[in-house]
A and B are shown apart, each in its own frame.
Chain A
Amino acid sequence: MNIAAHEGLLKILGQVSGYIYPNEIEVHWSILIVVYPYLTGLVAGAFILASLVKVFNVTALKPTYRLALLTALAFLLIAPLPLLLHLGHPLRSWQIFFTPNLSSAMAMFGFVYAWYLMVVLLLEIWFDYRADMVNWGQTAKFPLNWLYKILSLFSKDVSPRAKVFDKRMVKYITILGIPSAFILHGYVGFIFGSIKANPWWSSVLIPIVFLFSAIVSGIALVMLLYMIITPSRGKPIDMKCLDKIASFLLYAAIVDFSLEILDFTHRLYESEESIKIITDMVVNKLFISLVVLQVLIGMVIPLGILILTKAAKFNQELRKLLYFVTAILIQIGIFSTRWNVVLGGQMFSKSLRGLTSYNMEMMGREGFLMALVLLIAPFFILAILIKLLPPWGKNPDGE
């Protein structure tokens, strides 16, 4: 064992209160496992926003449709990395895909991920962009034109009939995509919710709470991106679109918050054996991240702002500012939610007699910097995707 790790554990040993099983000193699921559900949540949420346009014909959201799809793709491509980096033997990870243990919730990762990436997102993006890619394949300069030809799989048909077919396919895939997005994030929640040994995680509500918090975070992210990207292109923000996104954000946040309150009330009312240690944990270990960041800053204040903007007749500029602040606060709140679920579940002992601590390392494979890189990386991928496949349908050369 390396000396730094040994000293780190000795330090935590000094911070243990009450009694914990001796093997519980080390927190095994670190910040990377916090990042993983956060990223997949953004994917599912962004996709749900996109689906509102195609399935539910919410035309006001059209300006964000393609942006939402590309955002979902950019984040989905990075989503498995925190899992991979966390593994003790990353090179053996292929076993999850090829020889999975079918009774394991985690083993479903390969199927769910492959399905969502290949069948839902890539296919929908391909059909939606196919006609554009055919055009760009003819008008763009070398070597981009070849890239578009390859991306469009050398299809050439841009007849109205072919476009109608594309449109129909996009609608079918989106219809399939909605339950898939639910499965993608519901399944991540199930990984935690199915652990009966852990009273903080073991709840049928966890997958549903995960799902709605995912929708909230995804919608808020697309809203944020739309508000940053549009002015940077020198275009005006479509306020009708922005107001509509804010409305959906409000509805999703209300459902999400109600579910969280239900979970909280249920735990308190049932008052099972674990309630004492869980209360201790919330008060002594998670007060800032749960009460302040998740509930107050990440949910109550954004909810208040969104309700206020709906009730009062604020002017456009003030609304934009409030939406912008709300979207950022919600990201902080949902990240805190993931933090509290993942790390909270490991801070109390399964003996229900004591608490341990999580000391986040800065460097290293599972450190803060790595988590930061993984959180920033999707934005770079999104920038490349936007450059290659402009959501606003212009020639990528800018001509």
Chain B
Amino acid sequence: MKRINFIKLLSKSAIVIATGNLFGTVLHAATKSVSVTISHVKRYALGIQIEKCIGCGNCVLACKTENDVPKEPFYFRTWVERYLIKKNDDVVVQSIEGGAGKLSTEMEEKDILRSFFVPKLCNHCEKPPCAQVCPVGATFKTEEGIVLVDEKRCIGCSYCIQACPYGARYMHPEKHIADKCTLCFHRIKSGGIPACVEICPTQARVFGDLESKASPLIRLKRMKKIHVLKPELNTEPKVFYTDLDGEVK
């Protein structure tokens, strides 16, 4: 074969492949938009009523059990913080064993101005910085708005851990992947609710679909004043807090 013919053949093959790819992409986009219009897309989120949290830590234990989170006190998908705000405006925050352990207080009760518990977890941000920085796309947002990690794809670089403003991710000591809360994706896919929500004795955690008017979360958002954590970072968190104190970060 002459060189010029070979080059012609090469360029023709390239055009065929490129056209094929383009066609595939268009087809994929078309089918995707069809599926979107047919099915009702849910957008899951969580509400947390701080005034109802009693700091029992059951949510932490339930999460650890449900999701095989390592038992050691360095790895949490969810944890509970206790805030003690003193009369002189000093703030003491504790999260001993994620709220599941015993909290100690070395201050006189009369010095305490107010105290409350704040459950924390992944905020399943609308604009998740962890997904943005993941070099291989192992962290991604599902169409339901839940931020997940593909365990088979994660390379364990920890960049997502650095990028999360909420400290919601940890490096799994055995799997060597950056683990995080999935809102119990396996449960909600089969019609259930997250383990932490189910076990909460005071219903401080409210799970729901933001697209459904009947959702208890929509009712909560309608009835209560809502705040999110670190709104200045523009991550658009989808964990909505009621009665959130300005000291909580």
Q: Which A residues are within 8 Å of any B CB, using their own CB?
A: 1-2, 5-6, 9, 13, 19-26, 28-29, 83, 86-90, 92-93, 95-96, 99-101, 103-107, 109, 191, 194-198, 345-346, 349-353
A193 to B94, CA, bound (A): 30
Q: Is the CB of A89 within 8 A of B155?
A: yes
A274 to B22, CA, bound (A): 48
Q: Which of B13-21, B45-53, B164-172 contacts A (4 or more CB under 8 A)?
A: B164-172
Q: Encode contact with A along B194-233: 1 for CB under 8 Å, 0 otherwise.
A: 0000000000000000000000000000000000000001
Q: Is the CB of B137 within 8 A of A101?
A: yes
Which B residues are CB-close (under 8 A) to A1? 70, 72, 173-174
Which A residues are CB-close (under 8 A) to B176? 88-89
Count of chain B residues with a beta carbon within 8 Å of a chain A beta carbon: 49
Q: Is the CB of A89 within 8 A of B75?
A: no
| Nearest Cβ on chain B to A166's Cβ, whole angstroms | 26
Which A residues are CB-close (under 8 A) to B170? 23, 26
Given known A101-B135, A107-B136, A351-B93, contact A5–B173 (CB-CB < 8 A): yes
In the complex, residue of chain B having the shortest beta-carbon distance to the beta carbon of A91: B155
| Nearest Cβ on chain A to B102's Cβ, whole angstroms | 15
Q: Is the CB of A24 within 8 A of B155?
A: no
In the complex, residue of chain A having the shortest beta-carbon distance to the beta carbon of B77: A23
Q: Is the CB of A28 within 8 A of B249?
A: no
Which B residues are CB-close (under 8 A) to A103? 132-133
Cross-chain contact of A13 among B73, B154, B167, B169 (Cβ < 8 A): B73
Q: Does B28 contact A (CB under 8 A)?
A: no
| Nearest Cβ on chain A to B97's Cβ, whole angstroms | 8
Q: Is the CB of B155 within 8 A of A92?
A: yes
Which B residues are CB-close (under 8 A) to A100? 135-137
Main secondary structure of the interface of A (DSSP, over half): loop
| Chain B stretch 16-37: residues in CB contact (< 8 A) with chain A | none
Which B residues are CB-close (under 8 A) to A350? 164-167, 249
Q: Is the CB of B169 within 8 A of A87?
A: no
| Nearest Cβ on chain B to A365's Cβ, whole angstroms | 11
Q: Is the CB of B72 within 8 A of A88?
A: no
Q: Is the CB of A195 within 8 A of B93?
A: no
A1 to B75, CA, bound (A): 11
Cross-chain contact of B94 among A19, A28, A83, A349 (Cβ < 8 A): A19
| Nearest Cβ on chain A to B144's Cβ, whole angstroms | 20
Q: Which B residues are within 8 Å of any A CB, using their own CB?
A: 70, 72-76, 79, 81, 91-95, 97-98, 120, 129, 132-137, 153-159, 161-171, 173-178, 233, 249
Q: Is the CB of B156 within 8 A of A88?
A: yes
A150 to B154, CA, bound (A): 39
Q: Is the CB of A88 within 8 A of B155?
A: yes
Q: Is the CB of B171 within 8 A of A28?
A: yes
Which A residues are CB-close (under 8 A) to B167? 20-24, 349-351
Which B residues are CB-close (under 8 A) to A195? 129, 133, 162-163
Q: List 9 A-B contacts (CB under 8 A).
A: A1-B174, A5-B173, A22-B167, A86-B157, A88-B176, A90-B155, A92-B155, A95-B155, A346-B162
Q: Is the CB of A106 within 8 A of B173?
A: no
Q: A88-B155, A88-B156, A95-B136 are in contact. List 5 more A-B contacts (CB 8 A).
A: A5-B173, A22-B167, A89-B156, A197-B164, A350-B249
Q: Is the CB of B76 within 8 A of A87?
A: no
Q: Is the CB of A104 within 8 A of B133?
A: yes
Given known A28-B162, A29-B158, A100-B136, contact A352–B249 (CB-CB < 8 A): yes
Given known A1-B174, A351-B249, contact A22–B165 (CB-CB < 8 A): no
Which A residues are CB-close (under 8 A) to B175? 88
A353 to B83, CA, bound (A): 12
In the complex, residue of chain B having the shortest beta-carbon distance to the beta carbon of A196: B233
A93 to B165, CA, bound (A): 25
Which B residues are CB-close (under 8 A) to A13? 73-74
Cross-chain contact of B136 among A21, A90, A101, A351 (Cβ < 8 A): A101
In the complex, residue of chain A having the shortest beta-carbon distance to the beta carbon of B120: A21
Most buried by A among B81, B162, B168: B162
| Nearest Cβ on chain A to B95's Cβ, whole angstroms | 5
A99 to B93, CA, bound (A): 42
| Nearest Cβ on chain B to A14's Cβ, whole angstroms | 12
Q: Is the CB of A104 within 8 A of B129?
A: no
Cross-chain contact of A105 among B133, B177, B178 (Cβ < 8 A): B133
A100 to B157, CA, bound (A): 14
In the complex, residue of chain B having the shortest beta-carbon distance to the beta carbon of A105: B133
Which B residues are CB-close (under 8 A) to A9? 72, 74
A195 to B167, CA, bound (A): 13
| Nearest Cβ on chain A to B72's Cβ, whole angstroms | 6
Cross-chain contact of B154 among A22, A89, A96, A99 (Cβ < 8 A): A89
A196 to B235, CA, bound (A): 10
A24 to B74, CA, bound (A): 8
Which B residues are CB-close (under 8 A) to A191? 159
In the complex, residue of chain A having the shortest beta-carbon distance to the beta carbon of B233: A196
Q: Is the CB of A197 within 8 A of B171?
A: no
In the complex, residue of chain A having the shortest beta-carbon distance to the beta carbon of B132: A103
A399 to B164, CA, bound (A): 60
Most buried by B among A92, A103, A109: A92
Cross-chain contact of A106 among B91, B95, B159, B168 (Cβ < 8 A): B159
In the complex, residue of chain A having the shortest beta-carbon distance to the beta carbon of B248: A351
Given known A5-B173, A349-B167, contact A92–B136 (CB-CB < 8 A): yes
Q: Is the CB of A29 within 8 A of B132?
A: no
Given known A25-B74, A28-B171, A350-B167, contact A88–B154 (CB-CB < 8 A): yes
A104 to B154, CA, bound (A): 14
Which A residues are CB-close (under 8 A) to B163? 195, 197
A197 to B127, CA, bound (A): 13
Which B residues are CB-close (under 8 A) to A29? 158, 162
In the complex, residue of chain A having the shortest beta-carbon distance to the beta carbon of B73: A22
| Nearest Cβ on chain B to A97's Cβ, whole angstroms | 10
